[in-house]
Amino acid sequence: MAQVGVIGSGSWGCALSHLLESNGHQVMIWSFDPAEADMINNGHEHSDKLPGVKLGDGITATTDLEAACKGKDFLIMSTPSVFVRSVAKQMAPFVEDGTLIVSVSKGIEESTLMTLSEQLEEELPGAEIAALSGPSHAEEVGRDVPTAVVVGAKEQETAEYLQKMFMNKDYFRVYTSPDIRGMELGGSLKNVIALAAGMADGLGCGDNTKAALITRGISEMSRLGVKLGGHAETFAGLAGIGDLIVTCSSNHSRNHNAGYLIGQGATYQEAMDKVKMVVEGVYSAKAAKALAARENVQMPIVEAVNKILFEGMSAADGVKSLMMRDRTQESIGLTWEK
C-alpha cells in the first residue's frame, strides 16, 4: 500500500484519488478551499466537479500543503496548468530530494514556453518528475469505465513502479514510455485542436469537418512535437491521437465545449465562464503559436484558433481560411515515381 498526496482537488485529481484508493492505497488530497476539503471529508464526494462519484474512506482532504506533501511515496500534481508553477513554489519547502511527482495536467506556460515537467524541475530541482497522459476523462474514470493511459518517466524502473500503482485490471490499463516530452506536448497541443473541433460543431459543420481537423491536427502536433524532441510514435499513440480523438469529440471535454460556444458566437471568456472550468486550450494556444514560429513549423489550425480567440476573427472565417489555403501535398515525406 502506498501513501499518495494529490495536489489539486479538481475532477481529475478526485478521479485519480478514487482509482488509487480502489487499488488499496491511502490518498490525501490538497485543496486551497476549506469548504471543498470539508465537502470531501464529510460527504465523501466532490459534488461540484465530480458528482456521483463516491470517494472511499481511504481518501482524506486537507488545506495543509505540508501534510499533503510529506511522508508520501509519491505525489500527483493535478492543479490546472496555469497554477502549476505557483503551487510548486509553495510546495518547495516540503518536497524532499528524490520525491517522485507525477504531472497529470496538460499545458504549456505562455511566458516561458516550458512544459509542466520542465516547470516542476525548475521549481523542485531535487524531485523526480514523471507524467501520466492519454484519453481519460475524469467523469468516466470516476465511474470505472475501461480506460487506457500512458505513464512516462526518465527511468524505466520509475515508469514500471507507477504502472503498478495506477493499473487496475478491471478498468484502468497503463502503458509505459520514456518520451515524457512528446507526451506532454501531445497533451497540450491537442487542447488547441479540440477548441477548433468544438468551434466547427458550434457552426453546424459535419463529421467530414471534424475528421479533417483531427487528422490535420495530429499532423500539426507531430511536426512541432518531433521538432521539439518528442518521438513520432508518441503522437501516434494514446498521448497523441488517442487523447486528440476523445478531446475533440466528447461532451465531457471542456475544450470542445468551450469551442462549441465560441462557434456559436461567444467570446473565449464567455465560453470559459459558462463551462465553469479552466479551459487549457485557451492558455496553450498562444504558446503553441509561439513555439511554431520559433521552430519554423507550419500550424495553420493553431494559427486560426489564435486569430479567433485573440484577434477578432469569426469562427466561420477561421474555417474558411483553412479551406482556402494554397494547394499542397498531404505528406511531404512521400515522393513521386514520376
The C-alpha cell of 135 is what? 484519453
Tell me, yes or no, whether 203 lies in a domain: yes
| Residues 189, 147 within the same domain | no
| Residues 149, 298 within the same domain | no
Q: What percent of the chain is modeled with pLDDT above 70?
A: 100
Tell me, yes or no, whether 199 lies in a domain: yes
pLDDT at 144: 96
Per residue in 166-180, pLDDT tens? Answer: 999 899 999 999 999
Of the candidate ranges 13-27, 211-225, 244-258, the one whose mean pLDDT is the lowest: 244-258
Beta bridge partner(s), residue 101:
75, 129
The domain spanning residue 285 has which CATH number?
A: 1.10.1040.10
User: Pick the catalytic residue: 49, 72, 106, 190?
Assistant: 190
| Residues 164, 187 within the same domain | no
Residue 148 has pLDDT above 90, yes or no: yes
| Residues 274, 315 within the same domain | yes
Stated as kind and residue range, the H or E segment containing 27 is strand 26-30
Contacts of 333 (CB under 8 A, 6+ apart): none
Cα atoms in the 13 Å half-sphere on the side-chain side of 88: 26
User: Taking residues 245-271, what's their average pLDDT?
Assistant: 92
Residue 276 has pLDDT above 80, yes or no: no
Nearest-CA neighbor of 142 among 239, 10, 274?
10
Per residue in 65-106, pLDDT tens? Answer: 999 999 999 999 999 999 999 999 999 999 999 999 999 999
| Residues 98, 168 within the same domain | yes
| Residues 205, 279 within the same domain | yes
User: Taking residues 111-138, what's their average pLDDT?
Assistant: 97
The domain spanning residue 69 has which CATH number?
A: 3.40.50.720
Tell me, yes or no, whether 111 lies in a domain: yes
Tell me if residue 190 is catalytic.
Answer: yes
pLDDT at 334: 86
Tell me, yes or no, whether 210 lies in a domain: yes
Tell me, yes or no, whether 195 lies in a domain: yes
pLDDT at 273: 87
Residue 55 has pLDDT above 90, yes or no: yes
| Residues 35, 137 within the same domain | yes
What is the domain count for the chain? 2
User: Taking residues 122-148, what's their average pLDDT?
Assistant: 97
User: Taking residues 124-142, what's their average pLDDT?
Assistant: 97
The three-class DSSP label of residue 302 is helix
Which of 178, 195, 211 corresponds to the end of one domain?
178
Which of 152, 178, 204 corresponds to the end of one domain?
178
| Residues 170, 197 within the same domain | no
Tell me, yes or no, whether 338 lies in a domain: no
Residue 54 has pLDDT above 80, yes or no: yes
Tell me, yes or no, whether 201 lies in a domain: yes
Tell me, yes or no, whether 332 lies in a domain: no
Beta bridge partner(s), residue 108:
115
The DSSP 8-state label assigned to residue 296 in this structure reads T
CA distances (Å), origin 119, targets 86, 116, 156, 226, 230: 10, 5, 22, 20, 17
Which of 140, 158, 178 corresponds to the end of one domain?
178
| Residues 203, 286 within the same domain | yes
| Residues 38, 143 within the same domain | yes
The DSSP 8-state label assigned to residue 297 in this structure reads -
Give phi and psi for 40, each to the nearest 5. Answer: -70, -45
| Residues 12, 115 within the same domain | yes
| Residues 110, 230 within the same domain | no
Range of the structural domain that residue 37 is part of: 3-178
